[in-house]
Chains A and B, each alone.
Chain A
Amino acid sequence: MDVISEFFSEYDGLQAFRTTIYLTLLSAVFALLIGTVVAVMRVSPVRVLQVIGTAYVNIVRNTPLTLVIVFCNLGLFLQLGVALANKDSNTFINDNNFRLAVLGLSVYHASFVAEAIRSGVNTVPLGQAEAARAIGLPFLKTLRYVVLPQAFRGAIAPLGNVLIALTKNSTVASVIGVTEASAVMKVMIENRPDVLFIVFGIFAIGFVILTLPVGVLFTSMSKRLAVKR
């Protein structure tokens, strides 16, 4: 069982999982922002915005996440010189990789968030929007005060699914050198191939601990916050 103590002392596995959590939470916030904008564009009355929103979702959703993340590093940073951190700082490489990973994860998951919110908009009965128009609210105010608040409450379950997927997908950030859980597991397996089943078990349980409560929480929230109709 010395491998378990090694996980905590030598490899600092907790720090690795903390990085996973930071990656997930930051990307979740940005993905929610971008996704909401895209969803609003898709339901807006302006044709051009609809087309842009639909194109975004269709393109991003059909591209592998690995490709998106690799593109952020090899394409954006190495080829185009887009850096997201201060070049003079000592931790430039780590900061930059981390932020590029957040960028890639947010852009990718924003398309799923947009779809989740759009499905939430579909749960709002027609009468709600009609009533809002009847009292003279223009499109944006209809969305802001009537439709979106209900749509978000209807979209909690699918949004929870996106968050769980995002937690698991944050492992892909290891491909551009972010030392999160999967990167540390890879190193541990290389150093201790004799106990690789235990090593995998530790990390797998780590992810079960991260994702299971989220699923339970969002399921109960989606029931508790569902708009009573």
Chain B
Amino acid sequence: MSSSSVLFDAPGPRAKRLYAAVGVGSIVVLLLVLWFVISKFNAKQQLTAAKWKPFLTGEIWTQYLLPGLAGTLIAAAISVVLAMGLGILLGVGRLSAHAWVRWPCSVIVEFFRAVPVLLMMLFMFAVYANYEVFPPERLALAAVVTALMLYNGAVVAELVRSGVYSLPKGQGEAAMAIGLTDGKTMRLVLLPQAITAMLPAIVGQLVVILKDTALGYIITYEELLRKAEQIGNFKSNLLPALIVVGAIFVIVNYLLSLAAQYVERLMRRRGRSAGGPLTADPTDQNTAVGALAGAGPSDTVDTN
């Protein structure tokens, strides 16, 4: 983390002047870019009060933005719960002692990680429509949730696996020594610890899920982006509507990533103070959590 701060020394008088000059220069460039964007907006009449005023009225919020946000949040919430269930199942399956359980689970996980979410969404939409699995008004939601569940279930399965691997070996050995079966070792000893350790990564994954619900736009699911388009058609202010919806996404996701960081700090603190008597090596606990937290961002990269 702090290694970036040693890339340069504490500046002397000459360096200070140089940094100040570069700083001022980049502010000037930034202002020029902003001025260019604003004048472009202005030239196309995008900054008029008529285009931005609607967002100060209750109507736009109660009719469009809040229902859109609800659509986005509902799809994300259902998806994350189902993905957790599927992910734990697949993750445990991948760790199974039986090859005939392990292999199918591995194939399923790798397959759903490799296939684009949009492809699955389009496919599930067609399947549900053709075989009339869901009533027409629930079709889009069902397709969005299924696709997100399958993809994120595969991601969670990988998290479960790396969570279990990151536990000290003594945990599994101790469980076996007191005579627990493989299943009980997993269920009572390894899994609870793995799930606690991967919580920050799961909260981080929520950001990915929330963003991916916007793919529902393509299959006409009524989420924020679709609502932005409707506002645009209704008030002919598409550009402002897109910007406002983008800001809502950024704020919600930023809060979620703060929550993920908070959970991570919490776990790290708890890990240190609790650190069981025999696993007592606190650095070990930390790397366990740290490795997962490290897996978090890279998985977010991977998923998005």
* Chain A residues near B (Cβ < 8 Å): 42-43, 45-49, 52, 58-59, 61-67, 70-71, 74-75, 78-81, 112, 115-116, 118-119, 121-122, 124-126, 129-130, 133, 139, 142-143, 147, 157-158, 161-162, 164-165, 168-169, 171-172, 174-175, 181-182, 185-186, 189-190, 193, 196-197, 200, 203-204, 207-208, 211-212
A196 to chain B, nearest CB (A): 5
The reply to whether A168 and B117 form a contact with Cβ atoms under 8 Å apart is yes
Given contacts A46-B26, A49-B22, contact A79 B46 (CB under 8 A): yes
B residues less than 8 Å from A58 (CB atoms): 250, 254
The reply to whether B303 and A165 form a contact with Cβ atoms under 8 Å apart is yes
The reply to whether A63 and B238 form a contact with Cβ atoms under 8 Å apart is no
B59 within 8 A of A: no
The reply to whether B7 and A129 form a contact with Cβ atoms under 8 Å apart is yes
Contact with A along B29-62 (1 / 0, CB 8 A): 0100000000011001010000000000000000
- State the interface size on chain B (CB cutoff 8 A): 60
Given contacts A62-B211, A79-B239, A122-B3, contact A168 B127 (CB under 8 A): no
B43 to chain A, nearest CB (A): 9
The reply to whether B218 and A66 form a contact with Cβ atoms under 8 Å apart is yes
Distance A118 CA – B304 CA, assembled complex (angstroms): 18
The reply to whether B298 and A139 form a contact with Cβ atoms under 8 Å apart is no
A residues less than 8 Å from B215 (CB atoms): 64, 66, 172
The reply to whether B214 and A46 form a contact with Cβ atoms under 8 Å apart is no
Among B114, B130, B210, B242, the most chain A Cβ lie within 10 Å of the Cβ of: B114
Beyond A49-B26, A80-B239, A200-B123, 11 additional contacts (C-beta under 8 Å) are A61-B253, A62-B211, A75-B242, A116-B301, A118-B4, A122-B4, A129-B3, A162-B301, A165-B303, A182-B118, A204-B115
Taking a contact as CB atoms closer than 8 A, the residue among A71, A115, A157, A185 that contacts B242 in the complex is A71
Taking a contact as CB atoms closer than 8 A, the residue among A43, A81, A165, A212 that contacts B302 in the complex is A165
Closest to A76 in B: B239
B297 within 8 A of A: yes
The reply to whether A63 and B250 form a contact with Cβ atoms under 8 Å apart is yes
Within 8 A of A (CB), among B103-144: 110-111, 114-119, 122-123, 126-127, 130
Q: Which 9 A-B pairs have the closest CB atoms?
A: A64-B214, A62-B253, A168-B116, A161-B302, A66-B214, A64-B211, A45-B8, A43-B4, A200-B123
